[in-house]
Copies of this chain bind each other. A is one copy, B any other.
């Protein structure tokens, strides 16, 4: 049977290089060299450079969609839903920091899957915003501009891929808790 491990290894290595230099700046020869083989050999395992990018991004985007779906249907307060969103991001990002870099920075180089990706993202943000608006209506969340609140939280969560690798002394649970604290309760004494 075909060794699916090798494909995974290629995609993981690609994600690592994409994080460092971005999708467009990484050549198939760069990738092959990093793996100790020749560029042409990559094509025994993947069908194109595009295919690698798609494999990295789409599965991550679907993980977020699934996570948001679970959170939406959980009968929790708005604040607790936000805390669950923080956990979701920390968890997925800690598991694949390289891939998250591509998701954040290289999504525009998706070709066939671009529309699908944008649809997932839009839907995710709509759900996120709905949670915040509900929280404001319920008097759980301070009366504020919901878009600014979402933008602020989401920007932080989307940057986690840059930060988690530098701070592995912090475990995921602890990070989620401290992050929720700062994002939700603020820093003013």
A66 on the interface (CB 8 Å rule)?
no
* Interface locus among A3-11, A17-25, A35-43, A45-53: A17-25
A106 to B159, CA, bound (A): 16
Chain B residues near A126: list those with CB within 8 A. none
**Contacts A145-B178, A188-B184; is A109 near B25 (CB within 8 Å)?**
yes
Give the secondary structure class of A's interface. Answer: helix
1/0 per residue A86-102: CB within 8 Å of B? Answer: 00000000000000000
Q: Closest 5 A-B residue pairs measured CB to CB?
A: A186-B186, A155-B159, A24-B24, A24-B25, A155-B156
Would you give the shortest CB distance from A6 to chain B, in whole angstroms?
27
1/0 per residue A152-189: CB within 8 Å of B? Answer: 10011011000100010000000100110111111111
In the complex, what residue of chain B is closest to A106 when comparing beta carbons? Answer: B22
Contact B142 A151 (CB under 8 A): no
Where the two chains meet, the residues of A that have a C-beta atom closer than 8 Å to any C-beta of B are 20-25, 79, 105-106, 108-109, 139-142, 144-145, 147-149, 151-152, 155-156, 158-159, 163, 167, 175, 178-179, 181-189
Chain B residues near A139: list those with CB within 8 A. 189
Chain B residues near A178: list those with CB within 8 A. 144-145, 148
A147 to B20, CA, bound (A): 23
How many of these chains are in the complex? 2
Find A189's partner among B141, B167, B175, B189 (CB 8 Å cutoff). B141
Chain B residues near A22: list those with CB within 8 A. 22-24, 105-106, 108
Chain B residues near A142: list those with CB within 8 A. 185-189
Find A159's partner among B23, B144, B145, B151 (CB 8 Å cutoff). B151
Chain B residues near A20: list those with CB within 8 A. 108
**Contacts A142-B189, A186-B185; is A179 near B105 (CB within 8 Å)?**
no
